[in-house]
Structure 1
Amino acid sequence: MSGHKAAYDDLDTTMIAYVGAVGTIITFFTVFAVAALDLSFEKKQNVEKVIEIPEVNSDSILANQAAALSEYRWIDQDKNIVVVPIDRAMEIVVQEEQEKQKQAKTKTP
């Protein structure tokens, strides 16, 4: 009884330890690689979105907005909705308010 013969269903502890160690090492390096890729991607996005912000020509944007505020155009022809230049719209509002005030004065005894 001094020597124990290994049976086919006995656990191979050295192989289990080897597979566990190799799996741990592979897992460690995989996690490290994913973290490094994430950091690299984050730095690249930071450079693209924060540091190298594309310059916008504000003069052309302001000119487009000014043109949109100073022209007549249809929004919806079926519903008769029109865009009026801002100066004309302000005149119309002032006229309407003056008419309301005149009507209010004539109605008061």
Structure 2
Amino acid sequence: MTDTTENTHDKPAAAEHGHAESTAPSYDDLNTPMIALIGFLSAVVTFICIIGLQAAYLQYSTTHEAEMRNVPFSNVDSLVTAQQAKLNSGYSWVNKETKTIAMPIDQAMKVVAEQYESN
């Protein structure tokens, strides 16, 4: 009989009156300073990541451009020589139907200059 009386004394007064016991806080308040701190730190971390990625890209692009510019002059000279030989190779047909011919650049410049002088 003592067990039954002890259990009834342990219950709060709200439960005796038929009210349900609630574990939720009595107010709903946001921790504004903590939210502001987390937002600020997130912005700083994002800014640092952006700056770091820009620095890494700049380093990569500078290295890549330097590698691309490292072409031996012998290759460039031989390429220029081959192009000049092709341009100065003489007369040839480009398109027989339209009567278009290819001629050396020096000769073409002389023809164009004569045409403009006669006008």
Q: TM-score, normalised by structure 2?
A: 0.55
Q: 1:59 aligned to 73, 77, 80, which one?
A: 77
Distance in 2 of aligned mates of 1:73 and 1:31 = 62
Partner in structure 1 of residue 101 of structure 2? 82
Aligned-residue offset at 1:6: 4.1
> How many angstroms apart in 1 are the aligned matches of 2:43 and 2:87?
62
Instruction: Tell me, yes or no, if structure 1 residue 35 matches structure 2 residue 51.
Output: yes
Aligned with residue 62 of structure 2, among 22, 40, 46: 46
Q: Which residue of 2 aligns with 1:26?
A: 42
Unaligned segments of structure 1, at least 5 residues: 98-109
CA distance in 2 between counterparts of 1:54 and 1:73 reads: 36
Count how many residue pairs are aligned between Structure 1 and Structure 2. Answer: 85
Per the alignment, do residues 23 and 85 of structure 1 end up closer, same or farther by CA in structure 2, a change over 3 Å counting?
same
The equivalences for 1:70-109 within 5 A come to 70-71=88-89, 72-86=91-105, 89=107, 93=111
| Amino acid paired to 2:93 | W
Q: CA deviation at 1:17?
A: 1.7
In structure 2, give the amino acid aligned to 1:70: N
The structure showing larger relative contact order (alpha-carbon pairs under 8 Å, at least 6 residues apart) is 1
Q: What SS class does the counterpart of residue 63 from structure 2 fall into? A: helix
**Structure 1 residue ranges, 4+ long, deviating more than 4 angstroms after superposition:** none
1:76 & 1:59 partners in 2: Cα distance? 30
Larger C-alpha radius of gyration, 1 or 2?
2
Identity %: 22
What CA RMSD, in Å, does the superposition of the two structures yield over aligned residues?
3.0
Q: Give the gaps of 5 or more residues in structure 2.
A: 1-24, 115-119
